[in-house]
Amino acid sequence: MRLLRHVEDRRSIGLSLMHLAFVAGQVALFWTDAPRWVFFVTAPLVACSAFVQQICVHNAMHGPVFANRAHNRIWQCVLSSCIGFPVSVYVPVHNLSHHLGLQTPRDVLRTTEVRHRWNLANLVHHMAMGTVHLHVLHVAYLAEMRRSRPRWLRQAFAELLTVSIYYVAIALAIGPLAMLALVFLPAIAGQWLIVGFGYVQHDGVDHESEYLHSRNFTSPLFNWVICNNGFHTIHHNKPGMHWSLVAAAHRDAIAKMDPRLDEPSLIRYLWRAFVWPGARRRYDGEVVVLPPQRARRELWTPPSAIASGASSGAVDG
């Protein structure tokens, strides 16, 4: 019998196992006589790996990795350890909120809620606020699913138990403070980075257009590491398409896109958008025009509203 639904997922599995090896290396390094400044190098590397794990989770929640459902449930527990929270709750933020309501009030990760004059401040604010909003929605979703999908809830709690054991075991090995600094905070940084990546993919684009709603980062090396998540237009148009197929689909649809939405280098784009000149611009060079500011109290209304959509059958029970 076939173990994987797509043989290309050997790469994503390898990336996740490599992340756990990085964490194990952090723990082993802590017990050596290595100077503590070394961790100022290794901890950011673990954070970058945690960012990649967010993408591995993203792909796994759009399309299961294994052919066997029981294997997928076990793998979700492993991925939960990699990102620091149950992956089952990824569904409300990404599938129900971001995909169905891209850049609208239903999208808790919409970029239009940050309005600073300095675009770097917009990015940092969005990363912090978006991370808080996604976890608020996670809690609301868990409460809703408790009533409608008890089997799904059991899986989520199995993942939560795995994460708890993972962190407790590391804390017992190196101490709670070292665990927080070397493992937990890099995982939080990975969450910040994936939210920030969403900002650069969707700010200043046309969310109402079929092919102009996302910015694409086309570097082959970068897309190898992030499993083609740089080809974001196709992913939103065909969210069920396996990540190994989106690069070819991007090439097939490129005539329908604006070439200014294809960025060959993430680093060069970050420099241009947030350092020099650092202005918040649309993909066509025009100034970003934001919709009217919503009342602050309304920022917290989408989580419960979106979580109530759980009964729509969007989750495999």
DSSP helix/strand/coil, 180:
helix
The model's pTM is: 0.91
Specify whether the CB–CB gap between 52 and 19 falls below 8 A. Answer: yes
With contact defined as beta carbons under 8 Å apart, do 303 and 134 qualify?
A: no
Is the pLDDT at 303 greater than 50, yes or no? no
* The pLDDT of residue 314 is above 60: no
According to the model, what pLDDT value does residue 294 have? 66
Pick the range with the lowest mean pLDDT from 72-86, 119-133, 297-311.
297-311
**Mean pLDDT estimate for the chain:** 89
- Whether residue 144 has pLDDT greater than 50: yes
Residue 33 vs residue 229, higher pLDDT: 229
Distance CA 62, CA 50 (A): 19
Identify the pLDDT of residue 272: 96
- Helix and strand numbers (H, E) in the chain are 13, 2
Show Cβ contacts of residue 145 under 8 Å, excluding neighbours closer than 6 positions. 152, 153, 156, 310, 315
- The reported pLDDT for the residue numbered 196 is 97
Say whether pLDDT at 306 is over 60.
no
> Residues 165-221: pLDDT tens digits?
999 999 999 999 999 999 999 999 999 999 999 999 999 999 999 999 999 999 999
